[in-house]
Amino acid sequence: AQSVTQLGSHVSVSEGALVLLRCNYSSSVPPYLFWYVQYPNQGLQLLLKYTSAATLVKGINGFEAEFKKSETSFHLTKPSAHMSDAAEYFCAVITGGGNKLTFGTGTQLKVEL
């Protein structure tokens, strides 16, 4: 069964520092992978998605993620954190033969001055 694992339920970075949020997947077939963000008191919104085209995917708000098959990873990065990036981030994978989106447990990002 396809699934994703997010390492680190809480990550704290300084403003201006690199953001790295980790996601590893398990899948017997090439996966479709996603990153979603949830700002306080809001629903989730799509940051970016990988659908087997380019391995480096650029998303909104300066985020990007790289699909690495050899490491079964799809880590989310941003070169320079901003206070407005403080939110919860979810990695997700399509499962159930393409019928369902299964989410990881989430990583809460805190950005400090």
Residues near other proteins (CB under 8 A): 6, 9, 32, 36, 41-46, 49, 51, 90, 94, 98-106
Tokens of 84: 């407005």
Residue 16: CB minimum distance to other proteins, A = 29
Q: Which residue has the tokens 């300066």?
A: 62
Residue 5: CB minimum distance to other proteins, A = 11
Of residues 18 and 60, the one with the C-beta less far from other proteins: 60
Tokens of 21: 């949020």
Of residues 43 and 70, the one with the C-beta less far from other proteins: 43
Tokens of 105: 């447990």
**CB under 8 Å, gap of 24 or more: what pairs does 42-46 form?**
44/90
HSE (side-chain half, CA atoms, 13 Å) at 65: 30
Residue 15: CB minimum distance to other proteins, A = 26
Of residues 43 and 56, the one with the C-beta less far from other proteins: 43
